């Protein structure tokens, strides 16, 4: 078999730039070089695409907070050419064909359908969810509406748009306190607060509004945080569930990335087999209800009475060695290099499937 060329996209313009670089370091290291040729593209904070042919693409890699793209990337632009995509080096004009793209990008522009749409325009297979499911999962308001339509239990919420008149007193009356406030389309707990009083609620809403034009206020759910990794297209598989035990008040940005002891990740979680099977089945139901393909991590709250609420879906979950998504597959029998390979193959299969559909009359 000829080698396939994989373009890894990482970095990006979101608040999860550093995490993305950490994820990409691991994905790149796990790729089987006998089967794949790698084109590593770091997207700088200004949006420029930089190709790293040799040498490290990231610096300060042992400090997650300071990890950054290295100097020396070569500016490239994506082009649609001969019915597929290539990267063109801006300085030399050299064209490098790409067979499949793995966007190892989190958050805005990476996980929200933007890059998926761009790659679709360029006729190139792309790992993970398509445009619509990426966009729907990224926007917590839309995701919850789709869950409601499919009768998938999730926390009660109020959505506020910027410019709306809102009254913290009235919202607290409907949802109770404490309440969680979050921008509709962020990630990594950026802009998320737990509000315990009416003034805190008002302040939290103002804070979240800085990150988004839509803000969600949710009832606080007391329970365990359980996560399931899903992999596949038409017949997706659910991993064993894992558990996150945050050491902070909740699973905040600091607890996720800055404080080494911020949270304990347990894979697999301690759960009885019946509950495990229920959680896995629910994860697959959510994956399908939101139209996902390739991969997603489904995050739940498991209440003390064993009822399950979906918190959210992450369509490009963390891929660092200690991230939950690869850890859960490891615990379920799929090792990291095999997982990366499977994701690339799923992208190619999904693309081939879509080619069957006519785009003209």
Ligand X SMILES: Nc1ncnc2c1ncn2[C@@H]1O[C@H](COP(=O)(O)OP(=O)(O)O)[C@@H](O)[C@H]1O
Torsion angle, CA of 266/260/10/50, rounded to 10 degrees?
Answer: -160
Which region among 14-22, 47-55, 220-228, 287-295 touches ligand X (by CB under 6 A)? Answer: 220-228
Residue of minimal Cβ distance to ligand X: 251
Is 23 or 188 the residue whose CB approaches ligand X more closely? 188
At closest approach, how far in Å is the CB of 228 from ligand X?
Answer: 14
Q: Which of residues 167-196 bind ligand X (CB under 6 A)?
A: 180, 182, 186-189, 192
> What helix, strand, coil percent values describe the chain, rounded to 5?
30, 30, 40
Query: Using CB under 6 A, which of 109, 122, 166, 250 touches ligand X?
Result: 250
Name the residue nearer to ligand X (CB basis): 99 or 111: 111
| Binding flag, residue 220, ligand X (CB under 6 A) | yes
Burial 174-188 (b: 16+ CB within 10 A, else e): ebebbbbbbbbbbbb
Shortest distance (Å) from residue 252 CB to ligand X? 7
Of the pair 217, 347, the CB lying nearest ligand X is at 217
In whole angstroms, how close is the CB of 331 to ligand X at the nearest point? 20
What CA–CA distance (Å, rounded) separates 112 from 131?
8
What span, in angstroms and rounded, lies between the C-alpha atoms of 83 and 97? 11
Based on the shown chain and the rule CB under 6 A, indicate whether residue 225 belongs to the binding site for ligand X: yes
Per-residue contact track with ligand X, 326 to 355, x per CB under 6 A?
------------------------------
Nearer to ligand X by Cβ, of 182 and 342: the residue is 182
Minimum distance from CB of 10 to ligand X (Å)?
19
Residue 64 or 97: the one with the smaller Cβ distance to ligand X is 64
Number of H helices, E strands in the chain: 10, 19
Beta-ladder partners of 222:
none
What is the separation of C-alpha 41 from the centre of its chain, rounded to a whole number of angstroms? 18
- The footprint of ligand X on this chain (CB under 6 A) covers a number of residues equal to 18
Task: Tell me the closest approach of the beta carbon of residue 225 to ligand X, in angstroms.
Answer: 6
CA end-to-end distance (rounded Å), the chain: 35
Q: How many CA atoms lie within 13 A of 352 on its CB side?
A: 8
Instruction: Identify the residue among 16, 111, 130, 312 touching ligand X (CB under 6 A).
Output: 312
Q: What angle do CA 168, 169, 175 make, to 5 degrees?
A: 85
For 299, counting Cβ atoms within 10 Å of its Cβ (0-12 exposed, 13-18 middle, 19+ buried), the class is buried
Q: Does 251 bind ligand X (CB under 6 A)?
A: yes
Map the footprint of ligand X across residues 105-164, applying CB under 6 A. 155
Q: How many CA atoms lie within 13 A of 292 on its CB side?
A: 34
- DSSP readout, 145-187? HHHHHTT--B--EEEEETT----HHHHHHHH-SSEEEEETT--
Smallest gap, in angstroms, from Cβ of residue 221 to ligand X? 4
Question: Is the torsion defined by CA of 308, 313, 316, 318 positive or negative?
Answer: negative
By CB under 6 A, the residues from 280 to 309 that bind ligand X are 299
Q: Which of 117, 246, 268, 291 binds ligand X (CB under 6 A)?
A: 246
Q: Which is nearer to ligand X, 282 or 299 (CB)?
A: 299
Residues that bind ligand X (CB under 6 A): 155, 180, 182, 186-189, 192, 218, 220-221, 225, 246, 250-251, 299, 311-312
């Amino acid at each position: 078999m000829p080698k396939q060329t994989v373009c890894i996209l990482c970095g990006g313009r979101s608040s999860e730039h550093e995490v993305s670089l950490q994820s990409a370091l691991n994905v790149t290291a796990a790729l089987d070089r006998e089967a794949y040729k790698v084109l590593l593209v770091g997207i700088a904070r200004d949006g420029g695409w930089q190709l790293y042919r040799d040498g490290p693409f990231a610096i300060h890699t042992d400090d997650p907070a300071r990890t950054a793209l290295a100097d020396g990337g070569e500016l490239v632009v994506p082009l649609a050419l001969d019915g597929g995509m290539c990267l063109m080096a801006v300085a030399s004009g050299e064209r490098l064909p790409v067979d499949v793209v793995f966007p190892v990008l989190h958050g805005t522009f990476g996980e929200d359908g933007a890059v998926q749409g761009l790659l679709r325009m360029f006729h190139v297979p792309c790992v993970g969810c398509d445009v619509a499911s990426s966009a729907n999962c990224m926007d917590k308001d839309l995701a919850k509406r789709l869950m409601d339509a499919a009768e998938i239990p999730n926390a009660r919420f109020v959505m506020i748009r910027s410019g709306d008149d809102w009254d913290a007193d009235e919202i607290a009356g409907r949802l109770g306190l404490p309440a969680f406030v979050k921008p509709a389309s962020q990630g990594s707990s950026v802009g998320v607060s737990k509000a315990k009083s009416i003034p805190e609620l008002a302040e939290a809403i103002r804070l979240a509004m800085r990150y988004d034009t839509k803000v969600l206020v949710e009832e606080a759910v007391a329970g365990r945080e359980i996560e399931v990794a899903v992999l596949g297209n038409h017949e997706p598989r659910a991993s064993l569930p894992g558990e996150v035990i945050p050491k902070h008040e909740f699973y905040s940005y600091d607890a996720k990335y800055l404080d080494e002891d911020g949270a304990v990740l347990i894979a697999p979680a301690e759960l009885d087999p019946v509950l495990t099977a229920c959680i896995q089945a629910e994860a697959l139901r959510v994956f399908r209800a939101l139209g996902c393909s390739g991969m997603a991590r489904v995050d739940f709250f498991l209440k003390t009475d064993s009822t399950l609420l979906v918190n959210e879906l992450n369509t490009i979950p963390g891929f660092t060695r200690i991230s939950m998504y690869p850890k859960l597959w490891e615990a379920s029998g799929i090792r990291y290099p095999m997982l990366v390979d499977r994701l690339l193959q799923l992208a190619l299969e999904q693309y081939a499937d879509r080619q069957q559909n006519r785009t003209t009359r």
